[in-house]
Structure 1
Amino acid sequence: MKHKCLHIINIAFGIATVLFLGGCSSDDSTQEPVETPMRELHFMLGSYNYQDVTPEANRRALPAGYVLYSELTPKIPLDGASLRCFMTKDTEVKFNGNVTYNSGSWVSKIPLDEGVYYVYGLMPGSEAGKVKLTPKSSDFANGATMEIQGLNPVTNSDVCTIVGVKGSTTAAGFANVDIKQGVFAYDAQNHGTFIYLLIDHLYAALQLNMTISPEYNALRTIKLTKLTLKSNSVAKTVNMSVELTPNTTNTLPFTAPALSQTTTDAKTVEIYKGEELILEETDDLVFLACTAPISTNTQFVMSATYNVYDRNGNLIRKDCTAENVLNLPTGGLTRGQKYTFNLTVNPTYLYVLSDPDLDNPTITVN
């Protein structure tokens, strides 16, 4: 009887041991999820210049070909600006976030596995209220549809989309990188940590060149403090759909974007506000504004705020304002084109120096 009891106890102990070992085996097979490695990527943004509709109005030579975006638009402040970047693979968006410009460069740590990604994006990322990206034919290798909502019809931002991608192991400069339109592929394993992005304009541009007449400059100094624009458009916000299709022919991967708009009064947009800028006779103050290429954008009201000083530096009048109407072609605006206006500050009367109008100049539009 004693041996029988011991035998039962041994069997029970054996079963418990097997269960225990089985439990250990099950626990050992459960692995912690592998974290995606972080890669520090350096983005180099370049763009073609706007096509000048009125080249004779420009007083300065424009850069040819595509150049670094920071050099192309020196009047548009980039510090703190963001690039909305989509790193995609197969049917998924692996990364959707903003890459911010700081201290002269676009750098961000992004979680990426090895493999080929297709890079799409919007510049600047802060300009749109919402951006949605969907693959074409169930694979981002075939292209993407970018739905952009909540854009301002007039802005001081150059609204662009990525049209070409090229990975590199060094910061070689755009002149030494064979980047092509219509190529969106980036190999995270073999293409290095420098990603060159060729971007193109979704908006049209208005360039405002401001000077002061020699006659008036001999009598008064004008210092600009604020410049605003308002369109006659009824659009408060603009929605845009961009179809991006890869190609191997170095051609633009999209046609004219599809546009829709709200029907509320357009708001006034600040093109410049800050420290006093002195108007010179020959060295223009150059401002760049961008506007959605919608047919109702045919006229803009420009408002300038400025201070008037005598030639001894004494403040004569503060916070003066002048309004001008800028008329555009009746056929509407074209994406990627630039419309230039030369603006000259003149006194109303020069022959009566004591006349108050000497201190209340007008602005002539050419």
Structure 2
Amino acid sequence: MELQKQQGRQPKAVWAVAFACVISFMGLGLVDPILPAIAENLKATPSQVSLLFTSYNLITGIAMLITGFVSSRVGSKLTLMIGLIFIIVFSALGGFSDGISQLVGFRGGWGLGNALFIATALAVIVGVSTGGTAKAIILYEAALGLGISVGPLLGGELGSISWRGPFLGVAVLMAIAFVAIMILLPNIPKPARKSSILDPFRALKHRGLLTLGITAFLYNFGFFTLMAYTPFVMKLDEHGLGYVFFGWGMLLAITSVFVAPVLEKRIGTLKSMVIVLLLFAADLLVMGIWTSSLVTVILAVIIAGAFSGTNNTLITTAVMEVSPVERSIASASYSFVRFIGGAAAPFLAGKLAEWFNPHVPFYFGAFAVVLGVLVAATGKNYLKIPKTAAH
């Protein structure tokens, strides 16, 4: 109740950006139910279709390096709006693509806009919110979860008409977000110091931030195996995939808001992260063993939402608190590292299935997540999160 009261008193700027975040993250879920349809209509293999995630995440990760450079010169509001314009244009172009190569290229442009938007959005929400960093991040993660959970339902509906529908739908939703930001978000003063493109690299010299980045890099091998590969394993239609990922997204949203703060308070950030990542690895292992069981895979995908939601909040809170640099720079550094993992994972998952069998991508994803746990454990002396700041 107290959490809801404090979040309800947030400035309008916070709610405006959070609203835009919901629509922005809806874009990821919109596309997921139509991956098999894209493969069928564009005569592409699963690994080729997975390049939609690879180009998106690769460009997003690289572009993260310039987000602070841009926002410190043109301001946060204009940076958010520029990012949304890129998303609107390239998602619309994706909807008119005639081949998988075109579509992959346009997704890269979408990723550029995504980087400018999400890195700046997180920094804005944390910077202008009331009630502390952790509560601001919970609001951000709730927007993420809500967008991801509702997205597949809309994507399934639009995708059942045409695989192009979700791409055009994203363009329309991003246009709404653009108007919301333009009208509701006041101009935010530029920082006194202009950021350098080298600042994110310098920030990675901090052992705690680097540890969290590598942990997230390895976690993303599991996360994007689930996102990009399981739609081909389940072999459901657009509606079916939409419902499955709606359940996944709902658990992600609920746990990010209600479970992660409780775990963090009772047993600490690092211990909570280790437990949740190990449970996620076990979930991937279950999918690997029983890949041919549709019911098992569906249940495991939905349950994975709980682990992803909890971990996302825990690790984002840690990133915001552990680094001595500005939050926008810390976010850019961390996101650069983790999105590179998100770029490699989807394509590798598809290739592992082609080279070996449908079980191997899940085994590899589970192995990578366990490696992430070991990396996090090695940096425990650098991951001291002050409870007063986190709560």
Bigger share in strand = 1
Looking at both structures, which has the greater relative contact order when contacts are Cα pairs under 8 Å and sequence separation is at least 6? 2
What range describes the TM-score normalised by the shorter chain of this pair? under 0.3
Compare CA radii of gyration and give the structure with the larger one: 1
Q: Which has the higher helix share?
A: 2
TM-score under structure 1 normalisation? 0.26
